[in-house]
Chain A
Amino acid sequence: MIIALTLLTVAVSAVTIISIWQSQRIKNFNAEITRYEENRYLMQQLTMAVLDNETGARGFVITGQRNFLEQMIVSERKLDELRIDLLKRTTHPVLSKLLNDSLSPIIDLRKEFSWQMVALVNSNKTEEAKKLVLSGVGKHYTDETRRIAAKIDTIRSSLLNEKRTANEAFVRDLNGFLILILLIILVLSIFNFRQLARIYKRQKETELQLRQGEQLYAALFYKSPIAKWIVAPETSTMLDVNDSFCTLFNIARENVIGKTTAETGLANSPGIKEAVFQQLSEKGCVRNLEYKTILANGEIKWVSMSIDPIKLDGKDCFVGASADITSIKEKEQLIAEMNAGLEQKVLEKTAELRKNEKKLQELNDSLERMVEHRTAQLSVANKEMEAFSYSVSHDLRAPLRGIIGFTNIIQEDYGAGMQEEEKRLFAIIRKNTEKMGHLIDDLLDFSRLGRKEISKTTVDSQALVQEIIDEMSKENPRTDAVEWKTSQLLPVQADLATIRQVWVNLISNAVKYSKSNPKPIIEIGSYSEANQTVFFVKDNGVGFDEQYKNKLFQVFQRLHNESEFEGTGIGLALVQKIITRHEGKVWATGEINKGACFYFSLPNETYATKNS
């Protein structure tokens, strides 16, 4: 729009300048024409003066009258004046040259010729002068002058014509240019007009929106459920309030508008004004300022107030919004009362809890003391047990050594004189004593195992079992008859010394209880099962009655007569104790006279993690 207006101004200025220029040019040309006319006139005067000169000179010669001479002198003066004037007014070089080089000398010759004739007359040689007139020389000069003058005029006229043609062409071009500019002006004017129309339309729309906005804000103000009010701070006059305001404060509209806040009696809460001023000076507005007010009818209201500065007709005003929070406050108070009650209850419960905690602590302390006491007792019992074991080991065996040793002495020293029956009885004493020794040893082994540390290493079961079988074969000739069936045994994490004892006990049991079979077969194997490795020793011996199998692993419990199978009843109990200490399990299957199979399992998590 601004660009278009600027362009329009520039175009109009251009038109003006061009018009001025054109008129100036026309004026100049007109002046040129005038000068041309003047020059032509001067030229005619000059020609006339030459004629006068000739006429004067000739008249004087022929008549001898003085007045012709005067005419000649006058024309001569006039000739000089005209010649100078023309030279002054002529600027064109061709014309100047013609004037100077052609016309001026001819004029001078003319003048000289005239004076020549005058001189002849004056010396009374009138006849000679007349001859000179008749010679035609003078006329020749006059004609020559007229011819040059005519030539100058022709040149002047053609120069003027050239200028005129150029001028006309220029004016035509300029007119075309002017039309172009005028067209541009027309386009720009149309554009500007359209723009103006658009601006006008927009203004109308804005006005409409403004009016609608005003209506909307008026509705927002007057129809708001929140009490709203506008106050002029200079006079503290209430300018406007809405219906909610009147309802909230139970006051008629006419009793508020135009009245000061003091007159309405609504700013009666102590400290409220100070609080408002403080917030206004700090933040420039008031936010959710809660206060209690007592209405004219004595009703108590809780109000939450916010105030913002606005401009109304250029004046600073405040618009306020007051919400009725009486019910919220009442609920809050109720909650506070309930909280207080709750807190009291919590305090009571906490106290109770503390009491219980203390009681628990006391109980714990007493329990701890009891545990300490029991531990001490247990430790004493353990020590006693050790002392007992030691005592059993040493003191019970000493008398046995005496019995057996001195019985031997009797047999050695007096055996020769003894009867067979006496020898047999001594042998019984000896056998029983030895058995008691074994019992003591086994019992000690069994009780000692409870205290012994289990230190696990990777045990090569295959090598261990083979070594035990080889050893057993050397000591016990009965094993010669045995057919061994051992499959590849899995390695396992176990305490080597005790696990060796397990294998020895199980294998020796298998050998012992299969001696009645003429073709004893002992099968030893292993398999993996749910994070554990299971080993088994199977024989085809006497087996056992499954209904007594719960007694198999108990100390001193035997399922066979001693006269049939020697033993103290400790072996399997020991096996169970060792495997239990390894966190494994033992079990057995069997049938009378069809053999037995003893299993034990060992956990292999540690094995698995160590080898992964």
Chain B
Amino acid sequence: MLQKTVEILLVEDSIDDAELTIREMKKHRLANELFHVQDGAEAIDYIFCKGKFADRTIEQRPKLVLLDIQMPKLNGIEVLEAIKSDERTKTIPVVMLTSSKEDPDIKRCYELGANSYIVKPVNFDAFTAAIRSIHYYWLLLNETPVK
């Protein structure tokens, strides 16, 4: 599994939110090659092939990163900063996940180069619609959509 080219990297500390997100993405056939890490530190290790992901190569870049802002250890903003300040990774599209559209961090994320953000709504139907909009990025990156 580790050798496989990951299409989408989901960085989400809440297992529940992650499960719901993955389920929704699967429903829309977006999660076939999705990898989930639980905090910022793990995300950095994964992207920059360090720690337990040391056997990965940096060229095996995920096509999209879904990045939760509020996380323990390294938060989403720090991870975003790391991705966008490295020449090898800064072209990876990053979509931020946030609990509130009024989050003051959203502005900061855009400044650092985030491509978009999705509010994780309480009403799950709305969230589903939001996940669906990720499709847009998918089409942008892949000429052939994932089956």
List chain A positions with a Cβ less than 8 A from chain B.
390, 393-394, 397-398, 400-402, 404-406, 408-409, 433-434, 436-437, 444-445, 448
| Minimum distance in angstroms from A570 CB to a CB of chain B | 15
Query: Given A408-B124, A434-B123, A437-B122 in contact, is the A401-B103 Cβ separation under 8 Å?
Result: no
B99 touches A398 (CB 8 A): yes
A394 and B98 alpha carbons, distance in the complex (Å): 8
Shortest beta-carbon distance, B116 to chain A, in Å?
19
Which chain A residues lie closer than 8 Å to B121 at the CB level? 401, 437
Report whether A404 and B122 are in contact in the complex, using a CB–CB cutoff of 8 Å.
yes
The 3 closest A-B pairs by CB, nearest first: A437-B122, A405-B20, A393-B100
Q: Which of B10-69 contact A (CB under 8 A)?
A: 14, 16-17, 20, 23
Tell me the smallest distance from the CB of A596 to a CB of chain B, in Å: 30
B69 to chain A, nearest CB (A): 9
Q: Which of B23, B102, B123, B124 contacts A448 (CB 8 A)?
A: B102
Chain A residues, Cβ within 8 Å of B70: 394
Q: Which residues from chain A contact B122 at a C-beta distance below 8 Å? A: 397, 400-401, 404, 433-434, 436-437
Taking A393-B99, A436-B122 as known contacts, 17 extra A-B pairs with beta carbons closer than 8 A to each other, sorted by chain A number, are A393-B100, A394-B70, A397-B99, A397-B100, A398-B14, A398-B16, A398-B17, A401-B16, A401-B121, A401-B122, A401-B124, A405-B124, A406-B16, A408-B124, A434-B122, A434-B123, A437-B122
Chain A residues whose CB sits within 8 angstroms of the CB of B16 once the complex forms: 398, 401-402, 405-406
Interface centre among A401, A402, A409 (most CB of B within 10 A): A401
Q: Does the CB pair B17–A401 fall under 8 Å?
A: yes
Which residues on A sit within 8 Å (CB–CB) of B103?
A: 390, 393
A contact residues around B17 at 8 Å (CB): 398, 401-402, 405
Closest approach, in angstroms, between the C-beta of A500 and any C-beta of chain B? 16
A393–B124 contact, CB under 8 A?
no
A395 → chain B closest CB, angstroms: 8
Which secondary structure dominates where chain A touches chain B?
helix
B residues near A400, Cβ cutoff 8 Å = 122
The docked-state distance in angstroms from the alpha carbon of A520 to that of B123 is: 31
Which size bracket describes the interface of B in this complex?
A: 10 to 19
Give the Cβ gap from B141 to chain A, nearest Cβ, in Å.
27
Interface residues of B in 121-142 (CB under 8 A from A): 121-124, 127
Given known A-B contacts A405-B20, A406-B16, A437 and B100 have beta carbons under 8 A apart: no
Which B residues are in CB contact (< 8 Å) with A405? 16-17, 20, 124, 127
CB distance from B10 to the nearest CB of A (A): 15
- In the complex the two chains form, is B100's CB within 8 Å of A409's CB? no
Distance, CA A398 to CA B21, complexed state (A): 13
Q: What are some 30 contacts across the A-B interface (CB < 8 A)?
A: A394-B99, A394-B100, A397-B100, A397-B120, A398-B14, A398-B16, A398-B99, A400-B122, A401-B17, A401-B20, A401-B120, A401-B122, A401-B124, A402-B16, A402-B20, A404-B123, A405-B16, A405-B17, A405-B20, A405-B127, A406-B16, A408-B124, A409-B20, A409-B23, A434-B122, A434-B123, A437-B121, A437-B122, A444-B100, A445-B102
**A394 cross-chain contacts in B, Cβ below 8 A:** 70, 99-100
Complex interface: chain B residues within 8 A of A444 (CB): 100, 102
Q: What residue in chain B is nearest A386 (Cβ atoms)? A: B104
CB distance from A386 to the nearest CB of B (A): 9
Chain A residue nearest in CB terms to B119: A397
The answer to whether A404 and B124 have CB atoms under 8 Å apart is yes
Complexed CA–CA distance, A445 and B102 (Å): 9
- The CA of A390 and the CA of B120, in the complex, are separated in Å by 14
User: Which positions 71-108 of chain B face chain A at CB distance < 8 Å?
Assistant: 99-100, 102-103
Smallest CB–CB gap between A415 and chain B, Å?
14
**Distance in angstroms between the alpha carbons of A433 and B120 in the assembled complex:** 15
Across-interface contacts of B14 in A (CB, < 8 A): 398
| Residues of chain B contacted by A437 (CB below 8 angstroms) | 121-123
Give bound CA distance, A406 to B21, whole Å. 11
Q: Which residues of B are found within 8 Å of A434, using beta-carbon distances? A: 122-123
Determine how close the nearest CB of chain A comes to the CB of B125; give it in whole angstroms.
Answer: 8
In the bound complex, CA of A433 to CA of B125 (Å)? 13
Given the complex of chains A and B, what is the CA–CA distance between A402 and B23 in angstroms?
A: 13
User: With the chains together, A394 CA to B100 CA distance in Å?
Assistant: 7
Which B residues lie within 8 Å of A402 (CB)?
Answer: 16-17, 20
Most chain-A Cβ atoms within 10 A of its Cβ — which of B70, B124, B127? B124
Task: State A398–B15 Cα separation when bound (angstroms).
Answer: 11
> Which residues of the other chain, B, contact A401 by a CB distance below 8 angstroms?
16-17, 20, 120-122, 124, 127
CA distance in complex: A477, B77 (Å): 42
A397: which B residues are within 8 A, CB to CB?
A: 99-100, 120, 122
Question: What is the CA–CA distance of A330 and B129 in the complex, to the nearest angstrom?
Answer: 107
Query: How far apart are the CA atoms of A401 and B100 in the complex, in Å?
Result: 12
Contacts of B20 in A (CB 8 A): 401-402, 405-406, 409
CB of B75, distance to nearest CB on chain A (Å): 11
Give the docked Cα–Cα distance between A398 and B99 (Å).
Answer: 8
Distance (whole angstroms) from the CB of B120 to the closest CB of chain A? 6
CB distance from A467 to the nearest CB of B (A): 21
